[in-house]
Chains A and B, each alone.
Chain A
Amino acid sequence: MAVKSKLVSLLFLVATLSSTFAASFSNSDSDSDLLNELVSLRSTSESGVIHLDDHGISKFLTSASTPRPYSLLVFFDATQLHSKNELRLQELRREFGIVSASFLANNNGSEGTKLFFCEIEFSQSQSSFQLFGVNALPHIRLVSPSISNLRDESGQMDQSDYSRLAESMAEFVEQRTKLKVGPIQRPPLLSKPQIGVIVALIVIATPFVIKRVLKGETILHDSRLWLSGAIFIYFFSVAGTMHNIIRKMPMFLQDRNDPNKLVFFYQGSGMQLGAEGFAVGFLYTVVGLLLAFVTNVLVRVKNLTAQRLIMLLALFISFWAVKKVVYLDNWKTGYGIHPYWPSSWR
């Protein structure tokens, strides 16, 4: 018994000693308090992004003594600018959340408390924006432990660092903090039960579908569906929509000289705007459709005057469309297409 109680007391002693040692090693209690508070704040939000205001900034950054035991990656948000699509604030905020969630999921131990993802909102914390000297968005800033002057912009994320969204943000974080973010875990498009339901539905539906296919009465047998699909894909492609998707082109631009004027057509053949593509794609398609209409449908109309009027209208529209495209093409590319006449004709 005596031995046992001795052992217990010894253990107790060791425990107290080590805890005091640990506390003294981490400089002060306030640091661990701050850490605990940050961790608890983080656990309340879904993706692990802590929403800070002026008070939070002063508490965790300005009044905390350097070096702080944590880095903060701050996303500067402004709800009033969400309507401006070219800033991509909402998209970046979403990606920021994904990086944060991936970081949390991949770092469970002590590594997880070295970096916290925060956001501050302009209308709620204007003074913090001034404190950071942020006057243009999008802006993401890493505040590393040793930084005391918040105006120090060395931690700013460049445009190239969020150009590839979450992946490049994670690279930035790994480069600067030497912490591992790990693989980006995007939420799957469909959750697991949803996938299960869909698979079950497909399995149940297959016999019926096969039965109908064998009978030949699905919508797949309706050639009009295929026809409209084919025409649509044609329109989609010649409009250069793929280019707009890959290059993420906007539908139109604002004129630099006159902000009220919108630019729909971009001069120079390497680039096009969304609306421009659709307009010309429509012109491309409409001529063929009118021609098909005249040769397939209009010939069956009995009324001669109606035929005449519709046909003249169709011809006029087609002529105008071709002319317009030729004009636009010459304007856009600057090519001077010219015929070659025999020299004796000149």
Chain B
Amino acid sequence: MAALESPQPGTPTAMRNAFGNVLSVLILVLIGVLAFSIRLFSVIKYESVIHEFDPYFNYRVTQFLSKNGIYEFWNWFDDRTWYPLGRVIGGTVYPGLTLTAGTIWWVLNSLNIPLSVETVCVFTAPVFSAFASWATYLLTKEVKGSGAGLAAAALLAMVPSYISRSVAGSYDNEAVAIFALIFTFYLYIKTLNTGSLFYATLNALAYFYMVCSWGGYTFIINLIPMHVLLCIVTGRYSPRLYIAYAPLVVLGTLLAALVPVVGFNAVLTSEHFASFLVFIIIHVVALVYYIKGILSPKMFKVAVTLVVSIGMVVCFIVVAILVALVASSPTGGWSGRSLSLLDPTYASKYIPIIASVSEHQPPTWPSYFMDINVLAFLVPAGIIACFSPLSDASSFVVLYIVMSVYFSGVMVRLMLVLAPAACIMSGIALSQAFDVFTGSIKYQLGASSNSTDDAEDNTSTNNAPKDDASAGKTDKGEEIVKERSSKKGKKKEREPADKPSVKSKIKKKALVLPLEASIVALLLLIMLGAFYVIHCVWAAAEAYSAPSIVLTSQSRDGLHVFDDFRESYAWLSHNTDVDDKVASWWDYGYQTTAMANRTVIVDNNTWNNTHIATVGTAMSSPEKAAWEIFNSLDVKYVLVVFGGLIGYPSDDINKFLWMVRIGGGVFPHIKEADYLRDGQYRIDSEATPTMLNCLMYKLSYYRFVETDGKGYDRVRRTEIGKKNFKLTHFEEVFTSHHWMVRIYKLKPPRNRIRGRTKKLKSKTSSGLSSKSVKKNPWI
């Protein structure tokens, strides 16, 4: 502190800056540690295990990659899934996550750190969330200065929405994709602020990484063009904008086309068309500005009519071509998932397989409170802060939050894209509020002792972000001068823009709030922050850490662990032949292939609706028809998940209506109405005969009455309708400890053998054969 008060004019600020930088780095490291460690609850409370469904597939792919190398991985045809079709993994998977984890594993191993692939996979997500919070710092710093950046990074490190997708063990695309998303946005803003081609190239590379990682890259390739268009329309076009955008489109599209799963989609599907349209527009606008620069105003007026008319014609032609292209493709060129964003009712009407997934439902207000918590309160303040003053960078984050908040309203899954935007906005709001309140307190406390010195200090700290911004502006100014000397108009615009910031500096001295009110406000803000921390820690510990492969429940007699899934997958892998086919609803496909190493009919990569509908139809059919369907698919075992005994709600009976719907969508003889009694889904004695005779009902409730004598289902909270029945075409081979997983074997078709025995028997004694005619031939 003594050094700070030294009279020399240059040293204190330099010292202050150095001190501030060191402190910032320290804080960033701590934020990284926080982001990493808050995600370890799942490992501490449960164990180091891969979570849920999709991560198991990613894990299996990573295992394959680390074992066989990248070229094998690229050409991998997987015959263990989608039997008998198989799946080309290399061409249908977003390879970013797998390659990232594979690289980490390879680097660690070549450094003689022997970690298993599983460990690397489990901890990839927490590591990348630390990266993501640092990227958030960089992005927010570009927009509103480092104070806001630090606040935003700290908020992002523990935002529950992001935690939900990136706890240790949640090894899914989003884990690395959110980092890639934020980092791409940062590089875009950085390019926009500096106008440097270096950052523009990096931006295209970051975009490439994003395309590799997640289908959500379409959000970037639509958001950035929208921002460019917005800038052009509001008269904010500048050469920096051109440099930030044009290389991204050209390089980015070329790179995106390199990813096999995207390929020519990068130029063929209409999700990408917006970027090309804006690419043309920005060239027209750039031409106009160029001509404006080299012509006298009079000549320009003549030229502008010419250029504008030509440009318009070109635009109209391109728009017409685009419209024709969009109209000619079957879904209007838009994939179902994207369409359901634009027309929210689309999916629920036409695509049951999308509508059936719970994360595609529209969220209610508690979802926002659960997932971004108090940030929901701060965002409006952040939006307003971004408008005063509005810059290219701040207009981008405003657009980002508006788009993401709208899309999150359609699909709860996209809350994940909203979370970084909400953190950035709240960081800006918090930092501004802290600036004003602490500034007021400091000014008034200082005013009582020695007024002038502290007041000056105060303004300099208050305006720290602004200083940065204006420094950035002068940088840009210089670079533009270097590039072109013809930007007279631009310079004129810039000068008045700089003046008000000087003015506001002078004014700001008087801008203070009452002391005690500021203190109260500060305390309340801190309380709000503390509440956020409590909520996030609670969410990380209780709500989002369950691996869902191992379940626990807390009751009076202590902790119960339900490890039925692994028990049954282990049973499958030990007691069945390695080439046996196992049928189950698609939710369990990835787990079966990864943990039991058995061939499945359908899995969570829902690429073939007909195949899924076939399984849905089999599950909804009576035993004999189901047996025939399964037998035609070479299925040997059928696996169902049943929660009625212990009250596990996401079991197959609860998913059953979707099987009916999806099955009925392809095979019309399955009708949803046959399974509903007066529009109600029920399994008690009021249930329809179709429901009581379908395979899913029978496999779920077979022998269930033996458990308690009544057959009381704890999920549906009712006694089941049909209690005592026998299976004719299936036999139970395994039921897990808590009855959560039940595995049935298809009975072999005995009739042909029986026919042979009949012949044999008839040769020896013909009297016995008539007796067995009434018996079921399948037994």
Residue among A276, A288, A318, A326 making CB contact with B365, cutoff 8 Å: A276
CB-based contact B514/A288 at 8 Å: no
Q: Which B534-563 residues sit within 8 Å CB-CB of chain A?
A: 534-535, 537-538, 541, 543
User: A12 near B: Cβ within 8 Å?
Assistant: no
A260 within 8 A of B: no
Can you list, as one digit per residue, whether each of A169-181 has a CB less than 8 Å from chain B (1) or not (0)?
Answer: 0000000000000
- Residue from A271, A329, A339 within 8 A of B538 (CB atoms): A339
Interface residues of B in 413-461 (CB under 8 A from A): 429, 432-433, 435-436, 440
Taken together as a complex, chains A and B put the C-alpha atoms of A270 and B672 apart, in Å, by 23
Please tell me if B251 contacts chain A, counting CB pairs below 8 Å: no
- Nearest chain A CB to B753's CB is how many angstroms away? 43
One digit per residue, 1 when the CB lies within 8 angstroms of any chain A CB and 0 when it does not, for chain B 348-385 equals: 11000000000000111111111000101111111111
> CA A239 – CA B534 in complex, angstroms?
24
Residue of chain A at shortest CB distance from B292: A214
Residues of B within 8 A of A231 (CB): 380, 383-384
Q: Is B362's CB under 8 angstroms from A246's CB?
A: yes
Chain B, 496-526, CB within 8 A of any chain A CB: 511-514, 516-517, 520-521, 524
**A interface list, Cβ under 8 A from B:** 158-160, 164, 206-207, 210, 213-214, 216, 220-221, 223, 226-227, 229-231, 233-234, 236-243, 245-247, 269-272, 276-277, 280-281, 284-285, 287-289, 291-292, 294-296, 298-300, 304, 307-308, 311-312, 315, 318-319, 321-322, 325-326, 329, 332-333, 335, 337-340
Q: How far is the CA of A277 from the CA of B673 in the complex (A)?
A: 32
* Between-chain CB contacts (< 8 Å), 13 pairs: A214-B304, A242-B409, A270-B364, A277-B364, A288-B381, A288-B382, A288-B429, A299-B440, A311-B521, A312-B517, A322-B374, A322-B531, A337-B535
Listed stretches B400-408, B724-732, B765-773; interface member: B400-408
Tell me the bound Cα distance from A295 to B436 in angstroms: 6
Given contacts A230-B383, A315-B524, contact A325 B369 (CB under 8 A): yes
- CB of A76 to closest CB in B, whole Å: 19
Q: Is the interface of A mostly helix, strand, loop or mixed?
A: helix
Q: Mark B639-660, 1 if CB is under 8 A from A, else 0.
A: 0000000000000000000000
Cβ contact within 8 Å between A311 and B378: no
Beyond A233-B402, A240-B363, A241-B409, whether A304 also contacts B514 by CB under 8 A is yes
CB pair B366 A333 closer than 8 Å: yes
Q: How far is the CB of A87 from chain B (nearest CB, A)?
A: 16
Provided the pairs A227-B387, A340-B541 are in contact, do residues A295 and B409 lie with their beta carbons within 8 angstroms? no
Known A-B contacts A291-B378, A295-B381; the reply to A315 vs B233 at CB < 8 A is no
> Measured between alpha carbons, how far is A325 from B436 in the docked complex, in Å?
26
Contacts of B531 in A (CB 8 A): 322, 326
Q: Does B679 contact A (CB under 8 A)?
A: yes
Which of A159, A247, A289, A292 has most chain B Cβ within 10 Å?
A: A292
Residues of B contacting A272 with CB < 8 Å? Answer: 364-366
A284 to B73, CA, bound (A): 48
Separation of A281 and B524 alpha carbons in the complex (Å): 21
B-side contacts of A271, CB under 8 Å:
364
B390 near A242 (CB under 8 angstroms)?
no
B366 smallest CB distance to A (angstroms): 5
With A160-B673, A233-B406, A300-B511 in contact, do A213 and B233 touch (Cβ < 8 Å)?
yes
- A234 and B406 alpha carbons, distance in the complex (Å): 7
Complex Cα–Cα for A159 and B679 (A): 8
Q: Which residues of B contact A292 (CB under 8 A)?
A: 380-381, 384-385, 429
Are B364 and A240 within 8 A (Cβ)? yes
Closest to B383 in A: A230
Bound CA–CA A325/B376 (angstroms): 11
Interface pair A307/B517, CB less than 8 Å apart: yes
Give the contacting residue for A337; candidates B517, B528, B538; CB below 8 A: B538
Given known contacts A160-B679, A236-B409, A311-B513, is B233 in contact with A269 (CB within 8 Å)?
no
Q: What's the Cα separation between A120 and B129 when bound, in Å?
A: 64
Identify which of A285, A325, A326 gathers the most chain B CB atoms within 10 Å of its CB: A325
**Contact, CB under 8 Å: B308 / A210:** yes
Give the chain A neighbours of B676 by CB distance below 8 A: 160
| Residue in B closest to A210 when the chains form the complex, CB atoms | B308
- B398 within 8 A of partner (CB): yes
Nearest residue, chain B, Cβ from A312: B517
B402 A158 Cβ-Cβ under 8 A: no
Chain A residues, Cβ within 8 Å of B405: 233-234, 237-238
CA distance A221 to B672 in the complex (A): 53
- Once the chains are docked, how many angstroms separate the CA of A132 from the CA of B524? 67
| B-side contacts of A206, CB under 8 Å | 312
Q: Which residues of B contact A338 (CB under 8 A)?
A: 534, 538
A242 in contact with B410 (CB, 8 Å): yes
Q: Is B345 an interface residue (CB 8 A)?
A: yes
Knowing that A238-B365, A299-B440 touch, tell me 16 more A-B residue pairs with CB under 8 angstroms. Answer: A207-B308, A210-B312, A214-B288, A233-B406, A238-B405, A246-B348, A269-B364, A269-B366, A289-B381, A291-B429, A308-B517, A315-B517, A322-B531, A329-B366, A329-B369, A335-B543
Tell me the nearest residue of chain A to B389, going by C-beta.
A223
Interface residues of B in 287-311 (CB under 8 A from A): 288, 304, 308
Asked if B409 and A240 make an inter-chain contact with CB atoms under 8 angstroms apart, the answer reads yes
Contact yes or no, A240 B362, CB < 8 A? yes
Q: Does B112 contact A (CB under 8 A)?
A: no
Asked whether A307 and B679 contact (CB < 8 A) given A238-B405, A288-B378, the answer is: no
Bound-state Cα–Cα, A331 to B447, Å: 47
Chain A's closest residue to B539 (CB) is: A337
Say if the beta carbon of B10 comes within 8 Å of chain A. Answer: no
Q: Are A289 and B365 in contact (CB under 8 A)?
A: no
Most buried by B among A159, A233, A272, A291: A291
- List 5 A-B pairs, minimum CB-CB distance, nearest first: A288-B380, A292-B384, A242-B409, A237-B409, A287-B377
Query: Which residues between 657 and 705 of chain B lie within 8 Å of chain A, taking CB atoms?
Result: 672-673, 676, 679
Determine how close the nearest CB of chain A comes to the CB of B485; give it in whole angstroms.
23
Contact residues in A for B344 (Cβ distance below 8 Å): 242, 245-246
Please report the C-alpha to C-alpha distance between residue A299 and residue B517 in the assembled complex, in whole angstroms: 12
- Other-chain residue from B345, B365, B511 in contact with A239 (beta carbon distance below 8 A): B365
Pairwise interchain contact A234-B401, C-beta atoms closer than 8 A: yes
From A233, A242, A295, A300, B432 is in contact (CB under 8 Å) with: A295
Residue pair A158, B524 in contact (C-beta under 8 Å): no
Q: How far is the CA of A318 from the CA of B402 in the complex (A)?
A: 23
Also in contact, A220 and B234, with CB within 8 A (given A243-B362, A245-B344, A299-B512): yes
Please give, as numbers and ranges, the residues of chain B lying within 8 Å of A237 by CB-CB distance: 405-406, 408-409
**In the complex with contacts A243-B363, A292-B384, A164-B349 CB distance below 8 A:** yes
Q: Which residues of chain B are within 8 angstroms of A221 by Cβ–Cβ distance?
A: 234-235
> Residue of B at shortest CB range from A276?
B365
Q: What is the bound-complex CA distance between A213 and B406, given in angstroms?
A: 27
Find chain A residues with CB under 8 A from B235 CB.
213, 216, 221
Contact A234 B380 (CB under 8 A): yes
Q: In the complex, which residues of chain A have a beta carbon less than 8 angstroms from the beta carbon of B380?
A: 231, 234, 285, 287-289, 291-292
A191 vs chain B, min Cβ distance (A): 21
B348 proximity list for chain A (CB < 8 A): 246
Quick check: A280 and B365 within 8 Å, CB to CB?
yes
Bound Cα distance A160, B513 (Å): 61
CB neighbours of A291 from chain B (8 A):
377-378, 380-381, 429, 433
Tell me if B388 counts as interface (CB < 8 A to partner A).
yes
CB atoms of A223 and B387 under 8 A apart: yes
Asked whether, in the complex, the Cβ of A289 is within 8 Å of the Cβ of B384, the reply is yes
Distance of A227 Cα from B440 Cα, bound (Å): 27
For A243, the chain B residues whose CB sits under 8 A away are 362-364, 409
Taken together as a complex, chains A and B put the C-alpha atoms of A243 and B384 apart, in Å, by 26
Task: Tell me whether A242 and B362 are in contact (CB under 8 A).
Answer: yes
| Chain A residues with CB under 8 A of B349 | 164
Q: Most chain-B CB neighbours within 10 Å: which of A160, A295, A308? A: A295
B233 to chain A minimum Cβ distance, whole angstroms, is 6
User: Quick one: closest B residue to A270, CB to CB?
Assistant: B364
Q: Shortest CB–CB separation between residue B361 and chain A, in angstroms?
A: 8
| B521–A294 CB distance below 8 A | yes
- Shortest CB–CB separation between residue B639 and chain A, in angstroms? 28
